[in-house]
Amino acid sequence: MKFEIESLPYAYNALEPYIDAKTVEIHHDKHHATYVAKLNAAIESEQGFAFEGTLDELLGDLQQVPEKIRTAVKNNGGGVWNHNFYWKSLSPEATKPSQALEECISKSFGDMESLKKKLVDSALAVFGSGWAWLCADSDGKLKIVPSSNQDSPAMNIDAFKGLTPILTVDVWEHAYYLKYQNRRQEHVEAILNLLDWKCASERFEKRS
């Protein structure tokens, strides 16, 4: 089975002025696509490993993956999953959280502005490459979880135990370097204008 890249849910220039078209194009068509290609190449290199499941099933149990390709599957498979999740976390349209999510934002952070400030702080605190995830537990309590490299909520790792991710910010330099160079804070503050609260609300409703 070959994994395929999910197409972008909007045009390259749809996220301007916050993220420029060239950055979106390279990020999706080169970086994201390369994770897909390298994931497939790793699986194909191990002919005895005839995996037929979904990406979630693959990442949810990395112990089933032969040791020789496990790191490649983890890094590239995580890269694929995280980017699929990331593109859907952004919207060119202005969106609002559902009433249920809004109530949980108030309970967990005080208000939306405090949540956004925490998200920026968490994104800035990631050393090197990684992600900042807004997650919900089964009671609806919200929490921001940073991750390194391509570690992913789809993996069975302690940081995400009992949590459902509802939004994410990519803080790899490739997500912002062309427009913002080393100015990660400026980029993350710009991204706040694009977060898809409608999608976040749907993910929140479906949390386990």
Nearest to 72 by CA among 34, 119, 24, 123: 34
Could you say which of 8, 19, 89, 170 contacts Mn ion (CB under 5 A)? 170
Q: How far is the CB of 107 from Mn ion (least distance, A)?
A: 31
Size of the site for Mn ion (CB under 5 A): 3
If one asks whether residue 172 binds Mn ion (CB under 5 A), the answer comes out as yes
112 vs 124, beta carbon nearer Mn ion: 124
| Position of minimal CB gap to Mn ion | 170
For the CB of residue 177, give the shortest distance to Mn ion in the complex, in Å: 11
When the beta carbons of 24 and 142 are compared against Mn ion, the nearer one is 24
| Cβ 51 to Mn ion shortest distance, Å | 24
Stretch that binds Mn ion, among 53-61, 108-116, 171-179, 192-200 (CB under 5 A): 171-179
Give the interface with Mn ion as residue ranges (CB under 5 A): 170, 172, 175
